[in-house]
Structure 1
Amino acid sequence: MAVLLGCIADDFTGGTDLAGMLVKSGMKTIQLIGVPTEPAPDDFDAIVIALKSRTNPAADAVEESLRALQWLKKQGCRQYYFKYCSTFDSTSKGNIGPVTETLMKALNAKFTIACPAFPANKRSIYKGHLFVGDELLSESGMRNHPLTPMTDSNLVRVLQAQVKGKVGLTDYTFVKGGASLIDQRFADLQKEGYQFSIVDALSDADLYSIGAACADLSLVTGGSGIAIGLPENFRKKGLLKITEDANKLGAVRGLKAVIAGSCSLATQEQVRVMKEKSPAYFVDPISLFDGKDVVAEALAWASENIAKGPLLIYATSAPDVVKSIQEKVGADKAGEMVEHALAQITQGLIKLGVGQLIVAGGETSGAVVKALGISGLRIGPEIAPGVPWTKAVFEQSDNESLVLALKSGNFGGPQFFNEAWDYIQ
């Protein structure tokens, strides 16, 4: 079976976010962790390669993304997708722009779009400006992100600072007119010498129109939102069948736990709400820095409380706390210590019988997936927009009973940690 859509995601939660949207639209999808060395698995319409490149140096992100593309090209994919965060997380040096230009060159693509809009999660674009809810990106909690602070909401300006080609805008005047008008705008921009276009979007209907207009683009870039419009393009060409079992995972068993490393406002609230009902343990970065065996302490606590679960083990903190820790320890060091500790704790939880796991935060998810030796994820039912349950595929084990949800820090409502389990039964 030919692979229709080959995707590259710049972090692990972003990969599951995208894969979940494709499954929801009827594409049987698998997410692979890192660039594979073996041929693609059989019987999948879409493959998502999840990298940990969002916060890497731009040159490293480019090199790894190019290797992922080369592997996907060998699988005969008909179209390619570069997925980044719906808040366009990057710096003036990249990584979104440099990676996109490199992929375009490798595919001989003369034009592509950038559309991180995800209205279901309150990410919209109007006149080229990205909004988070009713706030401009630059006025949202993302302005305080410890690694990729977003202080400019004008995506044309942000992307133009990262690329050599010209960045234009397909604003809502064209988008509201539907796919044919969007397609005409793309053609006009190319005639005027533009290689990129930011695309406005305010609703799911807009995303379907944009997706339809992207049918003949070899490379599409964006958040997971516009992915909902791509499967229909393949159906119209007779390449994709309608299926109702794309999200089936099979039997679920084991104890329940949540690992939260994200410090986003959404995850802070989710942690606060879960702590009201469930046993919770705080992983203190200062204690880690002071040399205390926080991992052993957390696992001892977990063994005593696991029957009362779901358990919550978290390093989530408010921005002022994070800043004070970074000033004492250093931003990179603090992040590495916490990720490593949470990954080790997760390994211990699996040995204690945890079989249903939620991980909050892209960097934390990457560390956990690597520590557990997970090579892929079979995508299951959606918990909340952008967050599906998945079943782990292990590198060196036939035991595929672990189900997990890798949640972007910004996604989900206040009750996410309490209600997620209802969607896997």
Structure 2
Amino acid sequence: MVELAVIADDFTGALDTGIKFAKAGMKTQVMLHSDFHFSEVNSACEVLVIDTETRHLKPESAYQIVYTLVKRCRAGHISRFYKKTDSALRGCIGKELTALCDALGESVEFIPALPEENRITENGIQYVNQVPVAQSIFGKDPFEPVRHSRIADIIHEESEIEVVSIKRMEQAEDLDTHCIRVYDASTEQDILDRGIALRKKGCLRVMAGCSGFAAYLPEILGVSREREKQLCKTRSLFILCGSVNKITEKQLICAQKQGFQRICLNIRQKLQPDYFESEEGKEFLRFFKKSCRRKRPVILDVISENAIEEALYFAGKSKIHLEEVRSRIAKRLGELVNYWLTFDLKDTLVITGGDTVYAFLSGNNCSEIEPVCEVIPGVVLFHVKIGERKLQVISKSGGFGNEQVFLEVAKEILIHKEAHDIEEKLS
């Protein structure tokens, strides 16, 4: 029986939160669409994670999707809810939290910190690496910049719901009207302590936060069935990167310097509809196939020196919205993964960027995903079936991880000599 519904606005968020419960031994199922039917839910499922794909929607549309979903889940006898939010507070935070409040008629207990990634909450302000989030790289994002650092201001940009900011060691007052209570946290112990205090008050029915709060929920709820890490070692990795985040760019440069082959798509390869029908396109596909048949890890990415400027120019010239450019790039990367699948290499697929993962999975009609383990903290391995083939996939959010993240993944996944070579580069 489903005990908890986790609602995420993109796929990587759904996965990196769902794995926290799977690691604790709770039977976890990830649904790729919010319009799933309850007959698709495994009878043994304890935690149902739903990807609403609302990150890039207009706030009112996001509100309606979340509101309707929560009502359906409540009618399906699910009594506990967790709204997964981005640790940098991107997306329709205000509207989606308000939808949760409105659908259930209860307050939301919101702990947005992720201390292990240096994302903390102090005096109601979100910090990334000691910098207020709106002044960080997330405030400079070309697609979805975070315009405020005070969480109440972010919420009130979309909603008039009452927001109460609560400092560490401070107790929340009981309010008659439903509201969003935002809790400060600078350490993992802060999160654990606050969670335990909320449990004692009976306030863990409607919650929100990133994977930081979710990681402690099994312990707070009294579940402790830790599983062993389960993964299959492979000869190589194919890394598909659809993120243009500056953090990701540094990670790719680091991996390239350590011997990973990196293929950067140019503007035609990313966006020209009939590119692969041209002689140049066919030659690229032959080169790509030859590269992947070697044993060293291959990176295929969309980052170039002028990637953003080129995308803006293309959007203007083609008279299409920037969101359409984003969609086309994700679709093109999905096509290239499907081409890679025809090589039948038995390698591990690594995908960075929620849009890219979603485009690949939805393009292959994958509705159910099984979280398996965290390869390293915050980097999730899952199984999915493509036709009759069971594929091992690793997913990472674009803004997540240190510069050596791909080397660390390779060390864990590659077999024998290849992993030893990577370990020497890390040491």
What TM-score do you get using the length of structure 2 for normalisation?
Answer: 0.85
Q: Aligned match of 1:344 in 328, 335, 343?
A: 335
Whole-angstrom distance in 2 between the partners of 1:15 and 1:317: 29
1:194-226 CA-to-partner distances (Å, cap 9, x unmatched) read 611221111111111232244333211111111
* Counterparts in 2 of 1:47 and 1:297: CA distance versus 1, 3 Å: farther
Shift of 1:6: 0.9
Q: Aligned match of 1:305 in 291, 308, 314?
A: 291
Shift of 1:329: 2.1
Whole-angstrom distance in 2 between the partners of 1:354 and 1:213: 50
Whole-angstrom distance in 2 between the partners of 1:350 and 1:287: 19
Name the amino acid aligned to 1:144.
K
Name the amino acid aligned to 1:212.
I
User: In the TM superposition, what are the counterparts of 1:208-227 in structure 2 within 5 Å?
Assistant: 208-215=192-199, 216-227=203-214
The question of whether the paired residues in 2 share the 8 Å contact of 1:382 and 1:423 is answered with no
Residues 1:264 and 2:245 are matched in the alignment: yes
Whole-angstrom distance in 1 between the partners of 2:27 and 2:87: 23
Give the equivalent residue in structure 1 for 2:60: 59
SS of the residue corresponding to residue 227 of structure 2 reads coil
Q: Which consecutive unaligned segments of at least 5 residues does structure 1 have?
A: 175-184
Name the amino acid aligned to 1:96.
I
Whole-angstrom distance in 1 between the partners of 2:383 and 2:71: 26
Give the equivalent residue in structure 2 for 1:399: 389
Shift of 1:120: 0.7
Q: Aligned match of 1:281 in 249, 263, 267?
A: 263
Whole-angstrom distance in 1 between the partners of 2:210 and 2:284: 35
Whole-angstrom distance in 2 between the partners of 1:77 and 1:298: 50
1:227-266 CA-to-partner distances (Å, cap 9, x unmatched) read 123223432xxxx4x32337545x5657520000111121
* Counterparts in 2 of 1:424 and 1:290: CA distance versus 1, 3 Å: closer
Name the amino acid aligned to 2:262.
A
* Counterparts in 2 of 1:203 and 1:324: CA distance versus 1, 3 Å: same
Q: How many residues align?
A: 397
Give the equivalent residue in structure 2 for 1:423: 412
SS of the residue corresponding to residue 374 of structure 1 reads coil
Whole-angstrom distance in 1 between the partners of 2:413 and 2:45: 22
Residues 1:322 and 2:318 are matched in the alignment: no
The question of whether the paired residues in 1 share the 8 Å contact of 2:17 and 2:215 is answered with no
1:105-162 CA-to-partner distances (Å, cap 9, x unmatched) read 22221x1133221111111010111111121112211112122101321111111222
Name the amino acid aligned to 1:7.
V
* Counterparts in 2 of 1:70 and 1:357: CA distance versus 1, 3 Å: farther
Q: Aligned match of 1:131 in 127, 133, 137?
A: 127
Whole-angstrom distance in 1 between the partners of 2:410 and 2:373: 11
What TM-score do you get using the length of structure 1 for normalisation?
Answer: 0.86
Give the equivalent residue in structure 2 for 1:412: 401
Shift of 1:97: 1.6
Whole-angstrom distance in 2 between the partners of 1:5 and 1:21: 13
Whole-angstrom distance in 1 between the partners of 2:51 and 2:206: 17
Q: Aligned match of 1:335 in 326, 347, 360?
A: 326
Whole-angstrom distance in 1 between the partners of 2:229 and 2:4: 17
The question of whether the paired residues in 2 share the 8 Å contact of 1:117 and 1:223 is answered with yes
* Counterparts in 2 of 1:310 and 1:101: CA distance versus 1, 3 Å: same
Whole-angstrom distance in 2 between the partners of 1:168 and 1:344: 46
Whole-angstrom distance in 1 between the partners of 2:112 and 2:395: 19
Name the amino acid aligned to 2:93.
I
Superposed CA RMSD in Å reads: 2.4
Give the equivalent residue in structure 2 for 1:3: 2
Whole-angstrom distance in 2 between the partners of 1:67 and 1:284: 41
The share of aligned pairs that are identical, in percent, is 21
Runs of 4+ in structure 1 deviating by more than 6 angstroms, as ranges, are: none
Name the amino acid aligned to 2:110.
A
Shift of 1:60: 2.4
Residues 1:190 and 2:162 are matched in the alignment: no
Name the amino acid aligned to 1:343.
G
Shift of 1:335: 1.1
Give the equivalent residue in structure 1 for 2:77: 76
1:315-356 CA-to-partner distances (Å, cap 9, x unmatched) read 0246x6414431442522321221111010011111112541
Whole-angstrom distance in 1 between the partners of 2:292 and 2:272: 27
The question of whether the paired residues in 2 share the 8 Å contact of 1:16 and 1:386 is answered with no
Name the amino acid aligned to 1:244.
E
Name the amino acid aligned to 1:101.
T
Name the amino acid aligned to 2:253.
R
Shift of 1:381: 2.1
* Counterparts in 2 of 1:288 and 1:244: CA distance versus 1, 3 Å: closer
* Counterparts in 2 of 1:382 and 1:375: CA distance versus 1, 3 Å: same
Whole-angstrom distance in 1 between the partners of 2:192 and 2:159: 27
* Counterparts in 2 of 1:103 and 1:245: CA distance versus 1, 3 Å: same
Whole-angstrom distance in 1 between the partners of 2:240 and 2:162: 42
Tell me which moved more, 415-424 or 284-293: 284-293
SS of the residue corresponding to residue 212 of structure 1 reads helix
The question of whether the paired residues in 2 share the 8 Å contact of 1:20 and 1:381 is answered with yes
Name the amino acid aligned to 1:228.
A
Shift of 1:280: 1.8
Q: Aligned match of 1:363 in 336, 345, 355?
A: 355
SS of the residue corresponding to residue 225 of structure 2 reads coil
Q: Aligned match of 2:94 in 94, 97, 100?
A: 97
Shift of 1:399: 3.0
1:5-44 CA-to-partner distances (Å, cap 9, x unmatched) read 1111000011111112223344332222113223411333
Shift of 1:303: 1.2
Name the amino acid aligned to 2:17.
L
Whole-angstrom distance in 2 between the partners of 1:189 and 1:152: 27
The question of whether the paired residues in 2 share the 8 Å contact of 1:257 and 1:358 is answered with yes
The question of whether the paired residues in 2 share the 8 Å contact of 1:389 and 1:405 is answered with yes
